[in-house]
Amino acid sequence: MRGADRPILSEVRAAERSAGDEPLRAPSGTHDILPPESAVFEGVVARFASRARLAGYGLALTPLFEELAVFSRGVGSSTDVVTKEMYDFVDKGGRHLALRPEVTASVARAYVQHRPTLPWRVWYWGPQFRYERPQAGRYRQFWQLGAEVLGTGDPDLDVEVIELAWTFCEGERIPGLSLALNSLGDGACRPAYRERLLAFLEPLAAQLCPEHQTRYRDNPLRVLDCKRPACRDATAAAPTPLEALCPSCRTHFARVQEGLASLGIPAVVTPRLVRGLDYYTRTTFEITASALSASQDAVGGGGRYDGLVAALGGPETPGIGFSLGLDRLLLARGDDAPAPEAGLEAFVVDLTGGGAALVLTSRLRRAGVAVERAFDSRSLRAQLRMADRSGAAVALIIGPAERAAGEVRLHPLRGGEESVVAIEEVEGALRALDGAGERPRRTGNEEQA
């Protein structure tokens, strides 16, 4: 829609009239991640970044919205993600766009557009958008961490990628992890398997769940993954993709299993594991955590997508990757207990009206010291109370006398003697305290990095 056709202005005015002073809330299915919990979130991302860097991955930041075709052609036009959950819209220039529901298709699109040297390893993190029914662990905006490698079909790479996902989750100390593994076949064996599955489902169609009664023809593999009892019962004896693998897919899958075993990674072959995105070929996997509710127990998953780049207009290029749900990782870790505020070292208490604190905090922060201060010319008592609550080890007190003498009073907040230092020696004095163990150790990100 363009210009005057757009109802946006009248909608804005109507909303203003009706809303009055109602406090506004985040949209349904979204949630704020705020301090101190966000420090845990930040720590998980930082640890993933350093693991990915060690394995040669560079960071890829792709747009939060793409041409709709990136997802309809990439993820699959009959998937739930595209048909039911996409936040798509027409922009002011008439382009049909979609908020990204996932990143793999965007990474493949970026590869087609920029053609970096292969093999190309990238990692990412960021929000995804899916119009789902919100519940614990299932949101409309959620966060993923992931990694993708384009350019080789070697099964050793499958092992390496699965190892990264698995060992990262293990390192995050998530209880009750398990790894399900499957192969979906390739362009040679998958079409024949699909026909075989369709022939199996045809006479049972009336027994499937209401949704799959009408939709099983579009995407028969998804019926295997359906959690509803009707589909479970009707397909108990269905042929699985594993039974129909061609010899080269069978060899590939065997190599992946051997490789995982040689690294001590306990993969459980799960013949009905299908996953919801159409681009997967050969290896697919999913990591679940027992701490999550059964219907949403997947912490992450991934697999090979050897046809994706070609589906987006690029040359035949194999690829494999995974994504982990950051919200679910945090839920599974049980991080209700907020991390302490990240390492505040000092708190400036200014009794001169604020100007001294302005200059001192600026100088200390530029020198790499984590420092806070009070505002609004509060009393000494009020400022010291704030200093104490801030978690800092030391209050740096400047009154008119200290300012005149070019000094600061170092007032330990967790026991110890008060001392007076020249204002230009504050950094050195704080470092000396740190050496003596009186400064709080940094927490949050660095703690487990």
Residues that bind ligand AMP (CB under 6 A): 102, 130, 132, 137-139, 142, 144, 276, 298-301, 323, 325, 327-328
446 Rama class: left (phi>0) / alpha (psi -120 to 50) / beta: alpha
Nearest residue to ligand AMP, by Cβ distance, number only? 325
In whole angstroms, how close is the CB of 346 to ligand AMP at the nearest point?
39
> Of the two residues 109 and 373, which places its CB atom closer to ligand AMP in the complex?
109
Find out whether 219 and 280 touch, Cβ atoms under 8 Å: no
Beta strands 96-99; 120-129: pairing state: unpaired
What 3-state DSSP class applies to 171? helix
> Of the two residues 298 and 359, which places its CB atom closer to ligand AMP in the complex?
298
In whole angstroms, how close is the CB of 228 to ligand AMP at the nearest point?
18
Q: Which residues pair with 65 in a beta bridge?
A: 99
Taking CB atoms within 8 Å and a gap of at least 24, the contacts of 382-386 are 383/347, 383/349, 383/350, 383/351, 384/349, 384/411, 386/347
In whole angstroms, how close is the CB of 447 to ligand AMP at the nearest point?
24
Find out whether 192 and 260 touch, Cβ atoms under 8 Å: no
In whole angstroms, how close is the CB of 67 to ligand AMP at the nearest point?
19
Amino acid at 79: T
In whole angstroms, how close is the CB of 299 to ligand AMP at the nearest point?
5
In whole angstroms, how close is the CB of 276 to ligand AMP at the nearest point?
5
> Of the two residues 267 and 348, which places its CB atom closer to ligand AMP in the complex?
267
Whole-angstrom distance, CA of residue 377 vs CA of residue 342: 26
> Of the two residues 31 and 217, which places its CB atom closer to ligand AMP in the complex?
31
> Of the two residues 132 and 163, which places its CB atom closer to ligand AMP in the complex?
132
Whole-angstrom distance, CA of residue 140 vs CA of residue 133: 8
In whole angstroms, how close is the CB of 103 to ligand AMP at the nearest point?
8
Joined tokens for residue 205: 């169609």
Nearest CA-CA partner of 326 in 339, 335, 317, 337: 335
> Of the two residues 41 and 139, which places its CB atom closer to ligand AMP in the complex?
139
> Of the two residues 180 and 396, which places its CB atom closer to ligand AMP in the complex?
180
Joined tokens for residue 253: 């899958």
Nearest CA-CA partner of 318 in 191, 192, 221, 187: 187
Q: Which residues pair with 262 in a beta bridge?
A: none
In whole angstroms, how close is the CB of 239 to ligand AMP at the nearest point?
24
User: Residue 232 class from Cβ within 10 Å (0-12 exposed, 13-18 middle, 19+ buried)?
Assistant: middle
First to last CA, the chain: 49
In whole angstroms, how close is the CB of 324 to ligand AMP at the nearest point?
6
> Of the two residues 52 and 234, which places its CB atom closer to ligand AMP in the complex?
52
> Of the two residues 100 and 373, which places its CB atom closer to ligand AMP in the complex?
100
Whole-angstrom distance, CA of residue 272 vs CA of residue 232: 10
